[in-house]
């Protein structure tokens, strides 16, 4: 990609393409910009500008339910990411390393959680945790979040597996053989040779799992109980009830977290010599 395209092929500078691109970016960012702007608006209404205030942020911090929901979401996302990283990496290494009967079935099966519609997974966990394996009520926090975390891991770890497996495709097995020749056991070789090589994909996969878990509404909506409300479920009930700038304020905070996480990930990936971009 070092070669500069000749002017003949300079599609990036042709006006029809530029126009569409401009319109699409406007479409993507105007709603978000308005959302942020009206979180500072000195009025209950979210359309007409009345003057600057931080009042909605004060009310947001005072809303203990909302802050508790955000805390639940972050804890679930963190736990689900850690477990997904372990399970996803194990699955990827097993599928990369071994030939075994039924491999196509297992490999295809692991991609099902990515393909199955969210609503179906949601009702599946609703039935499962209601009739098959009731999650005990009244457990101390954060054990009470167990059911949701289990559900999140089920759909997050296959994404980690996909990302890690893609990275393993380019691993040179001779490096591992060299370590084995020098006396490392299979476990040492995995930890000292393969895992460091996988680091960029672990970062990308972990970030993907974290975002998917934090973002999930539908599956959590079916799995959450009254005392295990997550951030999206809480915001959903607020939005259903009434449109208030408090939702704009908390959304702005979440947007900031997203932007910060994305840039941290890009930085780290660039430093570890991985691809410069997520996805």
Q: Which residues in the 72-131 window bind another protein by CB under 8 A?
A: 86-88, 90-91, 93-100, 106, 109-110, 112-113, 115-121, 123-128, 131
- 45 vs 241: CA distance, rounded Å: 15
| Stretch in the footprint of another protein (CB under 8 A) among 56-64, 74-82, 136-144, 251-259 | 251-259
279 binds another protein (CB under 8 A): yes
Residue given tokens 């079916």 in the structure block: 222
For 237, the token pair is: 């009930």
Q: Which of residues 198-237 bind another protein (CB under 8 A)?
A: 211, 214-215, 217-218, 222, 231-232, 235-236
CB 46 within 8 A of CB 38: yes
Sort 151 into a burial class: Cβ within 10 Å, 0-12 / 13-18 / 19+. buried
Q: Which of residues 28-67 bind another protein (CB under 8 A)?
A: 28-32, 34-35, 38, 45-48
Q: Taking Cα atoms as reference points, which of 210, 202, 203, 206 lies closest to residue 258?
A: 210
CB of 50 to another protein, least distance (A): 14
CB of 252 to another protein, least distance (A): 9
Q: Taking Cα atoms as reference points, which of 239, 245, 235, 242 lies closest to residue 46?
A: 245
Among 20, 54, 143, 191, binds another protein (CB under 8 A): 20
Q: Which of residues 141-180 bind another protein (CB under 8 A)?
A: 150-151, 153-155, 157, 161, 172-174, 176-177
Q: How far is CA 25 from CA 30, 142, 244, in A?
A: 8, 40, 26
CB of 12 to another protein, least distance (A): 4
Please say which residue, 52 or 174, places its beta carbon nearer to another protein: 174
Residues with Cβ within 8 Å of residue 13, at least 6 apart in sequence: none
CB of 40 to another protein, least distance (A): 14
133: DSSP letter: S
CB of 62 to another protein, least distance (A): 21
Please say which residue, 141 or 263, places its beta carbon nearer to another protein: 263
CB of 207 to another protein, least distance (A): 9
Residue given tokens 């259903």 in the structure block: 240
Among 24, 61, 137, 143, binds another protein (CB under 8 A): 24
CB of 98 to another protein, least distance (A): 4
**What is the C-alpha R_g of the chain?**
23
- 103 vs 196: CA distance, rounded Å: 26
Site size with another protein, rule: CB under 8 A:
101
């Amino acid at each position: 990609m070092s070669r500069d395209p000749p002017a003949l092929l300079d599609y990036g500078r042709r006006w029809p393409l530029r126009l569409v691109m401009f319109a699409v970016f406007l479409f993507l960012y105007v709603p978000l910009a308005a959302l942020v702007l009206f979180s500072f608006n000195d009025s209950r209404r979210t359309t007409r500008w009345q003057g600057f205030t931080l009042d909605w942020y004060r009310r947001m911090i005072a809303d203990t339910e909302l802050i508790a929901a955000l805390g639940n979401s972050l804890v679930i996302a963190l736990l689900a990411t850690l477990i997904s990283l372990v399970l996803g990496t194990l699955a990827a290494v097993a599928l990369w390393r071994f030939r075994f009967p039924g491999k196509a079935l297992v490999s295809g099966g692991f991609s099902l959680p990515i393909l199955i519609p969210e609503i179906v997974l949601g009702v599946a966990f609703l039935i499962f945790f209601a009739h098959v394996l009731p999650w005990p009520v009244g457990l101390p926090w954060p054990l009470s979040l167990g059911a949701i975390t289990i559900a999140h891991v089920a759909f997050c770890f296959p994404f980690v597996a996909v990302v890690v497996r893609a990275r393993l495709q380019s691993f040179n097995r001779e490096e591992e053989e060299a370590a084995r020749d020098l006396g490392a056991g299979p476990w040492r070789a995995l930890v000292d040779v393969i895992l460091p090589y996988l680091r960029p994909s672990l970062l990308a996969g972990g970030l993907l799992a974290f975002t998917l878990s934090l973002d999930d509404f539908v599956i959590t909506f079916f799995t959450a109980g009254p005392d295990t409300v997550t951030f999206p479920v809480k915001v959903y009930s607020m939005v259903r009830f009434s449109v208030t700038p408090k939702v704009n304020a908390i959304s702005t905070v979440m947007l900031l977290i997203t932007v910060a996480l994305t840039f941290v990930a890009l930085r780290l990936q660039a430093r570890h010599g991985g691809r410069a971009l997520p996805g």
